[in-house]
A and B are shown apart, each in its own frame.
Chain A
């Protein structure tokens, strides 16, 4: 775990809201190594989602440098950043964010849409990841025909279908009951054990158990990057 996957150096982000200047991030610096699973915790407005969007190549910082796998994200053009997201990142959004008029397998195939793979290959890849998340029998259902947990699994399948090295998750269990939330967290843990780096923004302290490291944020400041203090590294929940 010596290679750095994500490197943030003095990242600041300021934006204007209702005429007021808001400083969402204040000179945040940290590294995340390949194969780590990291939770980012903090209250609403602490800047954790802003940080996730900056790491996700969606939101340029006001100042500072962010590198993923040695690539300075915001030196890339907007279109190159789109390519980067497709190749390097798997997003799991709040409330699943599935496309309502596409079936489960079509939703999973979305990141492959703009690649040059054949339709058959795309379908096979999507079917395989759906099988991995336990939805092989429901792949032709529309999102509204799936439960919340199943929709979350589809969202995770969509995030990993392109085999990205980094998963970014924003409150993935926020809309789920405890049992289903635990199942989803186990799935993230499995993915991490398979070698994927996971960075998850969460409110839920229970989720921390499944991740190896926790970062705390408050008012745009990284005030704690404590390995083992908030929660020790846990093994898979039994």
Chain B
């Protein structure tokens, strides 16, 4: 015979009340779990989408200049011709403690030049890195290196995220598969790749010779139309651009493809900021998460509703436990008379609250996830499936236990302050 035998027997005797408390508690926990589950899954889905985008972290000098945008998301301005990053900065980034997360680094120098009397943005970069980091770039069919041209319809898409596992990973390998012959993309220092719009506008073809900054460059190939800024650019090797612009060692922007699931994004961004205080770090994921109004509203709504429901749940538990203690006045008097310490009475009441809380936490978790799986796509407007997450289960139980324990404090105090002599009607 241990205290828990008394506790469990008592709970089983008062099934209706226990169920009532469980329902109250479970609804509160389920609401929190479903809201949290939906929000977190939305974040993961958005992260996955950003990850698939390729470039997701951009370093620029901490000053204004040319507007730069990706996929409709406007990034902070890039400074050029005034202040630059350097190749040493690139080396620093490559040696960061969290560099495992960085899958591709593509430093580039931006400038403008006149080609056939037309002003054009010239990008100096490593073409292989540029193609790797921007999966939408394709050389047009007219190019002899057709092995690196892939039709979008035959391209192997990144693997879907395993919906049932919280361990989601961006599949860079699948992106690489689309670029398995990137090794063949070796630009000579006197070669350039011309964007679709600029090439078609000026009727530029592979093999043509262009004069840029008083130097002749052969057109290695032209890009297929992508609808992105690259359509209006000319790409050349980084060192060629540095030489052409007369800015050796300089870098305008460092674009990176970061695997968000490979570590802590916050840590990486913090390391970059610490090591490169003169650089502005922009994370597409952070930007998109910040900008997603649905998410922000959902979080606000969820937090408000969750707090209200949790408070109500707490009240339900406290009232029921308090009522239970009142009903057991005589019983508690007997316990005290036969030698139970106040500590034992407190332990009994608190343990009852604890047991109910743990069960409520588990039920709330299951109910919350089921609710989120049904309501998630509707609320978020995204194709999401909220996964069963062990960490969320523990959070649910911890939350329920916190509620249960806090709610049991007053009933336990009530139980202890009872006068056993009065409880037993001795006086």
Contact surface of A with B, Cβ cutoff 8 Å: 15, 24, 49-50, 52-53, 56, 58-59, 78-79, 82-83, 85-87, 89, 91, 93-94, 97, 99-102, 106, 109-114, 119, 122-123, 126, 158, 162, 170
Minimal beta-carbon separation of B413 from chain A (angstroms): 14
CB-contact partner of A97 in B10, B334, B344, under 8 A: B334
| Contact A85 B335, CB 8 Å, known A53-B421, A113-B6 | no
A-facing mask of B1-41, CB < 8 A → 1, else 0? 11101100110110000000000000000000000000000
Does the CB pair A91–B338 fall under 8 Å? yes
CB-contact partner of A79 in B9, B335, B343, under 8 A: B343
Contacting residues, chain B, for A50 (C-beta < 8 A): 426-427
Report the Cα distance A86→B335, complex, angstroms.
10
B294-350 CB contacts (< 8 Å) to partner A? 330-331, 334-344
Minimal beta-carbon separation of B13 from chain A (angstroms): 4
Taking CB as reference atom, which chain A residue is nearest B3? A113
Minimal beta-carbon separation of B407 from chain A (angstroms): 23
Taking CB as reference atom, which chain B residue is nearest A201? B426
| Contact A58 B426, CB 8 Å, known A82-B340, A83-B339 | yes
Does the CB pair B330–A109 fall under 8 Å? no
- Interface presence of B368 (CB below 8 A): no
Report the Cα distance A53→B419, complex, angstroms.
11
- Interface presence of B382 (CB below 8 A): no
Does the CB pair B337–A101 fall under 8 Å? no
Report the Cα distance A77→B339, complex, angstroms.
13
CB-contact partner of A82 in B6, B331, B342, B424, under 8 A: B342
Minimal beta-carbon separation of A144 from chain B (angstroms): 12
Report the Cα distance A109→B338, complex, angstroms.
11
| Contact A114 B339, CB 8 Å, known A58-B420, A97-B330, A102-B9 | yes
Minimal beta-carbon separation of A162 from chain B (angstroms): 8
Minimal beta-carbon separation of B164 from chain A (angstroms): 42
Report the Cα distance A126→B1, complex, angstroms.
10
Known: A53-B426, A58-B424, A59-B419. 20 other contacts (CB 8 A): A24-B427, A49-B427, A50-B426, A50-B427, A58-B337, A58-B421, A59-B426, A59-B427, A82-B336, A85-B339, A86-B338, A86-B339, A91-B338, A93-B337, A97-B334, A101-B10, A102-B5, A106-B1, A110-B338, A119-B2
CB-contact partner of A58 in B336, B343, B344, under 8 A: B336
Does the CB pair B421–A83 fall under 8 Å? no
Does the CB pair B426–A49 fall under 8 Å? yes
Contacting residues, chain B, for A52 (C-beta < 8 A): 426
Residue of A15, A24, A106, A113 ringed by the most chain B CB atoms within 10 A: A113
CB-contact partner of B427 in A15, A82, A113, A122, under 8 A: A15
Does the CB pair B331–A79 fall under 8 Å? no
The 9 closest A-B pairs by CB, nearest first: A86-B339, A53-B426, A109-B1, A59-B421, A101-B13, A53-B421, A58-B421, A82-B341, A111-B338
Contacting residues, chain B, for A24 (C-beta < 8 A): 427
Residue of B335, B420, B427 ringed by the most chain A CB atoms within 10 A: B427
Contacting residues, chain B, for A94 (C-beta < 8 A): 425
A-B contact pairs, 21 of them (CB 8 A): A15-B427, A49-B426, A52-B426, A53-B424, A53-B426, A56-B426, A59-B419, A59-B421, A59-B427, A79-B342, A79-B343, A86-B339, A86-B340, A91-B337, A91-B338, A101-B12, A102-B6, A110-B6, A119-B1, A158-B338, A170-B426
Does the CB pair A114–B427 fall under 8 Å? no
Taking CB as reference atom, which chain B residue is nearest A84? B339
Report the Cα distance A122→B421, complex, angstroms.
27
Does the CB pair B338–A99 fall under 8 Å? no
CB-contact partner of A78 in B3, B335, B338, B342, under 8 A: B342
Residue of B9, B13, B338 ringed by the most chain A CB atoms within 10 A: B338
Contacting residues, chain A, for B5 (C-beta < 8 A): 102, 106, 113
Does the CB pair B334–A113 fall under 8 Å? no
Does the CB pair A97–B339 fall under 8 Å? no
Does the CB pair B335–A110 fall under 8 Å? yes
Contacting residues, chain A, for B13 (C-beta < 8 A): 100-101
Report the Cα distance A114→B339, complex, angstroms.
8
Report the Cα distance A93→B3, complex, angstroms.
22
Contacting residues, chain A, for B341 (C-beta < 8 A): 79, 82-83, 114
Contacting residues, chain A, for B336 (C-beta < 8 A): 58, 82, 85
Report the Cα distance A62→B128, complex, angstroms.
94
Minimal beta-carbon separation of A111 from chain B (angstroms): 5
Report the Cα distance A82→B339, complex, angstroms.
4
Taking CB as reference atom, which chain A residue is nearest B423? A58
B374-427 CB contacts (< 8 Å) to partner A? 419-421, 424-427
Taking CB as reference atom, which chain B residue is nearest A88? B339
Report the Cα distance A99→B2, complex, angstroms.
15
Minimal beta-carbon separation of B335 from chain A (angstroms): 7
Does the CB pair A99–B427 fall under 8 Å? no
CB-contact partner of B1 in A15, A79, A85, A113, under 8 A: A113
Contacting residues, chain A, for B420 (C-beta < 8 A): 58
Contacting residues, chain B, for A123 (C-beta < 8 A): 1
Report the Cα distance A112→B338, complex, angstroms.
9
Taking CB as reference atom, which chain A residue is nearest B345? A82
Taking CB as reference atom, which chain A residue is nearest B328? A99
Report the Cα distance A128→B393, complex, angstroms.
47
Minimal beta-carbon separation of A164 from chain B (angstroms): 10
Contacting residues, chain A, for B424 (C-beta < 8 A): 53, 58, 93, 97
Minimal beta-carbon separation of B59 from chain A (angstroms): 65
Contacting residues, chain A, for B427 (C-beta < 8 A): 15, 24, 49-50, 53, 59
